[in-house]
Structure 1
Amino acid sequence: MLLLVIVLPLSTALIVVVTLTLKWKLIECWKSRTGPSNDGINSPQAIRRFSCHELLRATDRFSENNLIGIGSFGSVYVARLQDGMEVAVKVFHQQYERALKSFEDECEVMKRIRHRNLVKIISSCSNDDFKALIMKYMPNGSLENCLYSGTCMLDIFQRLNIMIDVALALEYLHFGHSTPIIHCDLKPSNVLLDEDMVAHISDFGIAKLLSGEDQLSIQIQTLATIGYMAPEYGTKGRVCTRGDVYSYGIMLMEMFTKKKPTDEIFIGELSLNRWINDLLPVSVMEVIDTNLLRGEERFFAAKEQILLSVLNLATECTIESRDGNGADMGWIFSTPDPNP
């Protein structure tokens, strides 16, 4: 850390120190947090009523021109209200029973949570033929679109800040109130970016609430995304907070390698996780997104060390414990022995 402060310009050094300090504080918070957090819980949430007619008019009758995303359970449109306000409207597919259940589950979860790094639900609109959630509009779209867009280039520090935002949101979901909430489907397409590039986790359609203070996991059959899903969930249907940590680790890998866990090269026994584990000891340059760091770049060594630290954390997040229950927060974030 001292070396970074010496070799980097003051402004850049401060960013590095702050982001790394935040990262390690998040680790300690994940390890030790047992009580509820009041982060955002007591903030008043204005409730505004919307009619179906108003939403039809604001989206030009849900035209394709206003369509900004399609998911398993619904489609998302940008809506321009008469007062000039822009919002996002998630319309659930009525023909699918799972979509209706997703709407109910998401409403139940969103009633309980409020945090800077979670997408704000403004209101809902529901009748026998129509169900929708009205959310704050995120002008920079999803992290997935931004990461793979040819017009958007995220540097090291932007990517670090986004992943810190995601970690803060997860910490709140898991420890911020008496009932832990598991997102169950954490991935770049479910992380949205506002006008300031602050990240917000979205889509709680398959999120699960763990009831009971001592309940660490639940057995349930639900949908999740292959590649980001923890092995114990895929094989045993076990949903627990560790599953979100695993997904977070995969997202860290994807964020800094710019490779999806579902890319064609990852077939059979070769996964994104294993690919990084095999090549990282050789050189971090073997796996990182080539746009992040070039050999002739100023302060190459310092940035290389940051990337190595981040990817080592990502591999720890995705370690499976010996009992097959997945990575335990207290274990994977423990301080490594300097003399193994």
Structure 2
Amino acid sequence: MQETSASSQLSLTNNSFQGSIPHELSRLSRLRFISLKYNKFNGVIPANISRCSKLEELHLSHNEVGGSIPKEIGFLSKLTSVELDYNKLTHGIPPFLGNITSMEVFSVSGNPFGGSIPETLGHWKSLKEIYCDGCNLSRTIPRSLYNLSLLTNITLADNQLTGSLPPAVVAMLPHIVFFQLRDNQLTGSLPSWISNCSRLRGLEIDGNKFSGKLEINFVKLRDIYVLILGNNNFGSKEDDEMKFIDSLKNCTRLEVLYLGDCMFQGLLPRSIGNLSDQLRYLSLAGNQLYGSLPRSIGNLVSLTKLSLRENQFTGNIPSTIGDLQKLEVVYLYKNRLLGMIPGVMGNLSSLISLDLSSNMLQGVIPSSLGNCHRLLELYLNDDKLNGKIPRTLLQLSSLSIKLDLSHNNLFGLLPPEVTELNMLSVLDLSENNLSGNIPNSLSGCVSLSSLSLKGNLFQGMIPATLISLKALPELDVSHNNLSGQIPKYLERLQYLNLSYNNFEGEIPMSGLFANAKTFSVLGNSRLCGGIVELGLPKCKEAKKQTKKFHLYVIIILIACKLFSVIFLSYVWCQKNRKSQLSQSSTRERFMKVSYSQLLKATDGFSNANLIGKGAFSSFYKGILGDDDDKFVAVKVLHLKKRGAEIRGSVKHGRLYDIEISYALDYIHNHCILVVIHGDLKPSNILFDDDMVANVRDFGLSRFLGTTSNQNNSTEIRGTIGYAAPEYGLGNEMTSSGDVYSYGILLLEMMTGKTPTDNIFNESLNLHKLASMALPDHVTDVIDVKILNIYQEDLCKKRKQM
């Protein structure tokens, strides 16, 4: 690297240079300016850089240079600016630097120096700016620094400095603009000489141990725009303690005022409303202020953040808060505020965080909060709110952090609009009086990481649809009236509390349920099984049979309730059907047909009339007699196949020409031998011209109580989705299995969903989906086409009346 005769500057700023700083720099003896900022240089500062005797500015900040500052730097007598910040320099700030009396800017922030600030830095009479924040410095600030009359910027923040600021002896720091001492361990009072620093624009002393009465008069500090005094021990218990607020009215450029987390006490003066109309941030949080919030606070029209949390404020929230249209954050929690939440809070359309928790607020949650379409988090917990949860609140899809309405007196159902909170992470509705079933619509809250419904009046089962909450690790539904079995899919959670409900049946043993520390089932007397640590009785086999019976009962009940809806629709839809069949027509439909008639009708069972073929039978179309309108379907059993004799054991008419439920009743209860169909499903139901259902295909059927033609235990019986669950375990076919299949068939008709629909899995099936809708949400699962037909026909019926 060679020096050119015209070159006095070297700038390699903002590149990706690596390795050590070249020693060859020392050959560039005419250099006045060196900048290697924002690279990846490491190693140490080369000592021979002192050969650049004309050097005035040395900028090496934002690299990875380590070691100590070489003593040879002290020989660069013309240095005015040294920037070494954000490196890895150690071994303290060396005292020999005080010999460079030409120093104007010294910046070494973000280095792990350690040690103390050398007293010799007071020799820098020309010093204007010093930045030593985050350098692990300790001990006191040299008093000599306060006598440097040209100083404009002092930043000594984020160290372990101790001691106090000196009292006024002579004019202290007359030109100071930014004075930053935050996050140290400084003590004593804030000296009054700061009141004379008329050029001061930023004062940051938060995070220390300053105490006593705040004696500063801010009248002369007209240019100050950042005043951060919080997180100290200010406070005197004198009546006029907050009077300094009055003098702040002259600070017309003030944008940030942080007086929080101190020991201020007394009334908040009305003069708070006289602060700068440029004020964006106001915090008086964490003090001992009391009395009502002044209505004048509505004058601070530029506020974006207002924090008055953790005081002793009483009275109502002033309605003038609705005038602060730019508010983004409002923290009023942990006070003693009374009355209702003002409806004008809904005017704060820029609001992203609202916390009114832990007060004594009453009344209902204003629905106007639904206008805050940017709201990310809302805390209304630990108040005395009542009424129902507003639907508009749950339609705030912007809520993504937390919605906390816990520990109030809210009642009623959880509205289905909760499904629109699809970005929400935490939902806490615990300790209220909410009732009804846990809605299936909660499954729409797919981003939940925590859900608490404990301490309410919820009943019914945990919805199987909650399986869709893939991101949910924590669920608490304790202290409710929930019942039913524990869904197996809950085993994937990390924490689960089901205590003090009415759950029953066997506790799973895998996943979360394998560790007694991750879940609780206390206060559920009808639970059994589970891991040994729970100390619960073993589950009895008889209970499984009872559970199976209950399953059939649920299916029959839901089917009956749903069928009543479709039946009304079906009756009104039949325009051409006669109101009542005559006896003659009934006898005609139950007529006996000879083999020769069937042979003639099907043209000798020709292939031209073959309309279907199964494992146990074939189907032919034909025309009986001379009337062209007597179309029939003829089933020919394969007699060599298992179950083929069933067809000949029952009366033809009773089997094929009555409705489905009557057909099952007949073969189960009125035949000489009880017949089990074994494969009841939609494809085995045919409708004639009068829309009368006919049961067909008895190829898998068998006689109950006989040993003939019984299926091999290794064979799958029936059709997946329609076959009773016990058939999959090899159990014998029973009439209950036909009832189960009939129930699934009815549910398919009502819901428009097949039992093998893609939405179903091992934890959710068709009959569970339907049973969860009982008793108040039946229409939620009915196929919308059926409801539409019902409504249309109902309207037509009313017009005809």
Richer in strand (by share): 2
| TM-score, structure 2 as length reference | 0.23
Mark the structure with the bigger radius of gyration: 2
Richer in helix (by share): 1
Higher relative contact order structure (alpha carbons within 8 Å, sequence separation ≥ 6): 1
| TM-score, structure 1 as length reference | 0.50
